[in-house]
Amino acid sequence: MITIYGIPNCDTVQKAIKWLNANNLQFQFHNYREAGIDKQTLMKWLQHFPINKLVNTRSTTYKDLSDEEKQCIDNKDAAIAVMMQYNSVIKRPVWDMGDGRFFLGWDEKELAKLLLR
């Protein structure tokens, strides 16, 4: 089953959920603002996405980080610690297709290729 990770008030996450519902695709939503995000999940994501893609450097949360926190984003362990502490710095949504495939962000055409066969 598809798991979509994000926060419910994110416009992009809302688009993704609306699209999933419109295409009658079953999914579960993981609200990491409320439920948090664990190190194991972040490590799995970093096997599929580079740190500089998973960390949304255009986000308000990123911009509010200290210079020291921003500089440590290049280090995998430090980046994981920052994402666990400030989970809204994670680019949204993160898609876990449930079959070993992952997707980051929103691209309707690419998602249709992946999920609508």
Which residues are known to be catalytic?
10
Cross-strand bridge partners of residue 29: 4
Q: How far apart are CA 5 and CA 77, in angstroms?
A: 20
Considering only CA atoms, which of 47, 34, 43, 42 is closest in space to residue 90?
42
Provide the 8-state DSSP code for 86: S
H or E segment at 96? strand 94-96
